[in-house]
Structure 1
Amino acid sequence: MTGTLQERRTASCPCGAVTLEMVGKPIVAATCYCHSCQAAGKAFEALPGAPAVVGADGGTPYLLVRKDRIAWLSGSERLGEHRLTPDSPTRRFVAQCCNAPIALEFTKGHWLSVYSARIPEGERPPAEMRTIVGDRPDGVTLPDDIPNYRTPSGKFMWRLLTAWIAMGFRAPAVEATKGYMR
């Protein structure tokens, strides 16, 4: 695939009722090991029929995309919102039809982190880096096939910054959910 706006990917819940389209080159493909992603993943896995999003190593793979390059194609009315705390600036969109997490939004940011497992394998780019690996579970040793960063790296932050500059320093709102889940 090229890095043009012609590049398109979809993400959907397992039952296919909720579908998200992403256009253009992603900001980055990364796997996050932070405590919040692990806690949310465990909460999702406790829901009936929910697919796993956290790997055995404690990491959650994401594809970060610009908010101005996403569109809910179907099922946005079926989305619920999950926050670890009521005042958290991070919310996760969950397809209530099959309890599948679709994406994570830092509401003050300009990107949406789409759960890689919701993207078909043929469209899913491999992770380029692992981030916040200092929070990984005790005893987990990570391979050195891609960079492992204890905190968000300069490369990660640079990618976010250059995307924000390209967006004219805007952070569009993502309005897709009907309910609030805890």
Structure 2
Amino acid sequence: MSETTQVGCACGQTRLEVKGEPILVSECLCDSCRAAADRLAVLPGGRNILTSYGATPCAEYRKDRVRILSGKEHLKEFRLSPDAGTRRVVAACCNTPIFLEFKGAHWLSVYLHLWPDDSRPKSEIRTMTGDLADPSGLPGDIPNLKSHNASFFAKLFWAWAGMGFRNPKIELAGKIDA
């Protein structure tokens, strides 16, 4: 449990430390994750974080197991719309997407592109394949779920219980438009 991993943005100014194993590692294929990734990829210096089949890979970590080591002043929120319940957090120093946060959530979905290829956590499931017009082209290496299953929510619930049902707040340096 005490093992830590450091990950960071493309230019190295923004660094995070994640502690222990993630709650789960997933690839999301929902419309909003794909739309946000497309919009963030066109920022100056931005990059495509989607897999070849359009998924957004993330490691879900309890908020109390993610620490910002440097570059907090660069972290800015991006929302698909002003009333969106999710915010993507970008390191504005180089426009690298860092994590996704759901409103009221106790976890962060840390984008897997932050890890070097040789140490990147392996995805366990793909979710929200029901948003695709034709999911038949998805790889069959892990479960391809139409939405979220009970196991997905159970893992999140037990992680929240392990945190004493707290939801730490993360302050950011501002907003970006994409």
The bucket for the TM-score relative to the shorter chain is over 0.9
Matched pairs, number:
177
SS of the residue corresponding to residue 153 of structure 2 reads helix
Aligned residue among 37, 41, 45 for 2:37: 41
- Cα displacement (A) at 1:139: 6.4
Residue 55 (structure 2) pairs with residue 59 (structure 1): yes
Q: Which residue of 2 aligns with 1:180?
A: 175
SS of the residue corresponding to residue 181 of structure 1 reads coil
Are the aligned partners of 1:57 and 1:140 in contact in 2 as well (CA < 8 Å)? no
Q: Which residue of 1 aligns with 2:96?
A: 100
- Cα displacement (A) at 1:24: 1.7
Q: Which residue of 2 aligns with 1:86?
A: 82
Distance in 2 of aligned mates of 1:65 and 1:137: 30
Report the RMSD for the aligned CA atoms in angstroms.
1.3
Q: Which residue of 1 aligns with 2:142?
A: 146
- Cα displacement (A) at 1:168: 1.1
Distance in 2 of aligned mates of 1:144 and 1:154: 20
Distance in 2 of aligned mates of 1:142 and 1:107: 29
Distance in 2 of aligned mates of 1:52 and 1:98: 13
Q: What runs of 5+ residues in structure 1 fail to find an aligned partner?
A: none
Q: Which moved more, 1:152-161 or 1:131-140?
A: 131-140
The residue type equivalent to 1:97 in the other structure is C
Q: Which residue of 2 aligns with 1:123?
A: 119
Deviations 1:42-87, CA, capped at 9 Å, x for gaps: 0011111212111221100000000011110000101111011112
The residue type equivalent to 1:181 in the other structure is I
The residue type equivalent to 1:7 in the other structure is E
Q: What runs of 5+ residues in structure 2 fail to find an aligned partner?
A: none
Are the aligned partners of 1:30 and 1:129 in contact in 2 as well (CA < 8 Å)? yes
- Cα displacement (A) at 1:180: 0.9
The residue type equivalent to 1:111 in the other structure is W
- Cα displacement (A) at 1:179: 1.4
Q: Which moved more, 1:58-67 or 1:141-150?
A: 141-150
The residue type equivalent to 2:59 in the other structure is L
The residue type equivalent to 2:55 in the other structure is G
Distance in 2 of aligned mates of 1:131 and 1:96: 28
Are the aligned partners of 2:129 and 2:135 in contact in 1 as well (CA < 8 Å)? no
Give identity over the alignment, percent.
45
